[in-house]
Amino acid sequence: RLLEHDLRNAIVRGELSIAYQPQVEVQTGDVVGFEALLRWRHPARGAVSPAIFVPVAEESGLILPLGEWVLRAACREAAGWKALLSVAVNVSAVQLHAPGFPELVGAVLAETGLDPERLEIEITETALIKDVARAVAVLERIRSIGVRIAMDDFGTGYSSLANLRAFPFSKIKVDRSFIQSVDTNPQSAAIVRAVLGLGSGLDVPVVAEGVERPEELAFLRGEICQSAQGYLLARPSPIEMFADITSGHI
């Protein structure tokens, strides 16, 4: 309750910010885009993790203004980069199913001038199970604008394969729980290889999430994996930390 009250004021008080985490091409090391991750600095509690406040925001409906804030801020930010890199924004089920979500995405793109091809929306599988027919319709409208859709945390939800077929995904993000043991657990390695094969077969690029150790990256380099994200490559940070990348000097 208290958290909900404080969260209600967070936007107007300027307590929200976005940390950006680079997504890197596995073979070349080039940065191809950034994931936008919401951050909240509470005046008394300090940094509160989105793992804590996003569920509160979803229950209270506050995720709608918060999500709109993130979408607009991330698109505005990316529109200002000299380098034409992509930006990925996490969208929760509540946002996806809210009336007018595709129109909101279109309006924010028009307002910020960001090329729709540079925006990617990340959705977890749990966001899709509520009302499949409706979720398909919403995602297809978003796809038709040119915005890409990534399936986030792949492998942790359920009926992943049916979802891959039903929804217009342009990217698969393999959950970090598989990546973290890819060099030590043969089952993880087999699963990651299978997902990479799935991506190749479906012609959908795969991103490995949560790469923390050189051994994990070495494994991915030996496979057909398009991109990777994780602390080994870069931690989520204020965009100023990546000025040389966004300005096109790297």
Residues binding ligand G (CB under 6 A): 21, 37-38, 49-51, 54, 67, 70, 90, 92, 122, 152-153, 176, 209-212, 229-231, 236
**Residue 231 partner contact from Mn ion, ligand G, Na ion, none using kind-dependent CB cut-offs of 5 to 8 Å:** ligand G
C-beta separation of 220 from 26 below 8 A: yes
**Residue 158 partner contact from Mn ion, ligand G, Na ion, none using kind-dependent CB cut-offs of 5 to 8 Å:** none
Q: How far is the CB of 146 from ligand G (least distance, A)?
A: 21
Question: Pairing relation of β-strands 119-124 and 171-174?
Answer: unpaired
In angstroms, rounded to a whole number, what is the distance separating the alpha carbons of residues 19 and 32?
Answer: 16
35 part of the interface to Na ion, by CB under 5 A: no
Window 189-218: contact mask with Na ion (x via CB under 5 A): --------------------x---------
In angstroms, rounded to a whole number, what is the distance separating the alpha carbons of residues 13 and 167?
Answer: 38
In angstroms, rounded to a whole number, what is the distance separating the alpha carbons of residues 88 and 145?
Answer: 16
Q: Which amino acid is at 47?
A: A
Other CB atoms within 10 Å distance of the CB of residue 161: 9
In angstroms, rounded to a whole number, what is the distance separating the alpha carbons of residues 3 and 22?
Answer: 30
List the Cα angle 89/94/99 in 5-degree steps.
Answer: 100
Q: How far is the CB of 226 from ligand G (least distance, A)?
A: 16
Binds Mn ion (CB under 5 A): choice among 120, 152, 175, 216: 152
C-beta of 120 vs 201, nearer to ligand G: 120
Window 83-122: contact mask with Mn ion (x via CB under 5 A): -------x-------------------------------x
Residues contacting Mn ion: total by CB under 5 A: 3
Classified as helix, coil or strand, 87 is: strand
